Amino acid sequence: MSINFKRASILMTFCIAASIGLLSLIPLSVPQGMPGTDKTHHFIAYAFLVLPIAIQSPRSLIWLIPMAAVFGGLIEIVQPYVNRFGEWRDFQADLFGIALGVFLGLGLRRCVPTQYRRQLNS
């Protein structure tokens, strides 16, 4: 049994996106903790969102980067309608997270020995 890395990375990306969407749009019943910590959460979440595709299929980043940015922006626009706070600084954290995820993913891909890259592309 061989692992289809392309399907696995796409599935991980969709699961991460669904988790981000769900966690970002659930109404808060209590105020958030320390101010500013949610920016760190945005940064980490969006880095992980693009990481699997950046490792597996760098060519796909042409469509993934804009889609991830639009996704983050739309969430910030929708949040005030679900008893959350939409902030443009959260969107900035999303964009920085996307950049980090791309950078890390491409760097990790370069660490994979050449003989195994063929498996990544299948």
Residue-level pLDDT at 6: 83
pLDDT above 90: residue 17: yes
Q: SS3 string of the chain?
A: CCCCHHHHHHHHHHHHHHHHHHHHHCCCCCCCCCCCHHHHHHHHHHHHHHHHHHHHCHHHHHHHHHHHHHHHHHHHHHHHHHCCCCCHHHHHHHHHHHHHHHHHHHHHHHHCCHHHHHHHCC
Q: Confidence class of residue 66 from pLDDT cuts 50, 70 and 90? A: very high
Mean pLDDT over residues 58-64, rounded? 94
How distant, in Å, are the alpha carbons of 6, 12, 15, 101, 113 from that of 48?
Answer: 16, 9, 11, 6, 22
Mean pLDDT over residues 78-106, rounded? 93
Task: Report pLDDT digits (tens) over 19-60.
Answer: 999 999 998 776 666 566 789 999 999 999 999 999 988 899
- Average pLDDT of the chain to the nearest whole number: 87
Residue-level pLDDT at 95: 98
Residue-level pLDDT at 1: 44
